[in-house]
Amino acid sequence: MIRLDERELSWLTVQQIRHLLKTIEDFSQNPHVHLLTRICLATGSRWREAEILQLRHVQEGKLTFVNTKSGKSRSVPVSEELFEEIRKHLKEQGGFSFSLSAFRRALVKSGIQLPAGQAAHVMRHTFASHFVMNGGDILILQRILGHSSIIITMRYAHLSPTHLESACVHGPRFEDI
């Protein structure tokens, strides 16, 4: 097998998230891009998974993502406020339209610099990074993101506040030897 370097993993800070959402709010004419951005940030979904959501996929406080990269559907709970906003939007609009270009324009307008090829995917990385930094379990994150292998999810483990501390806690205690 040929070893390829892993792409740089970028994610947004809380301040950058606020700035991006404000930029979208102020400058985007697309009626879907703000809500789609929030869906991706709240669930770790891929942009396309969020764009193809239909009202039938928004049930019991969860969003069910279908036609995923792995081919397996997965459901992710969201806040009651976001859930109701998504339901209302889908009832009024009938669905989401292609909005990735509008998102990319807003990202450029925001001035946030990202590595090449990570425009909308940064929302997924941002969710995962904040999930781990806030103490979320890596196995739960794997299920939320729909990764088939924990190895993929482990890219976020270094962001855990206890990642390195566990070496001291779970390793041998030499004072006992």
List the catalytic residues.
46, 69, 121, 124, 147, 156
Residue type, 92: E
Contacts of 118 (CB under 8 A, 6+ apart): 7, 8, 10, 125
**Beta-carbon count within 10 A of 174 CB:** 6
Question: Which phi and psi (to 5°) does residue 143 adopt?
Answer: -70, -40
Which segments within the chain are labelled E, that is strand?
A: 58-59, 62-65, 74-77
The SS3 of residue 29 is: coil
Q: What DSSP element (H or E) covers 105?
A: helix 100-110
Yes or no: say if 34 and 70 are a contact pair by the CB < 8 Å rule. no
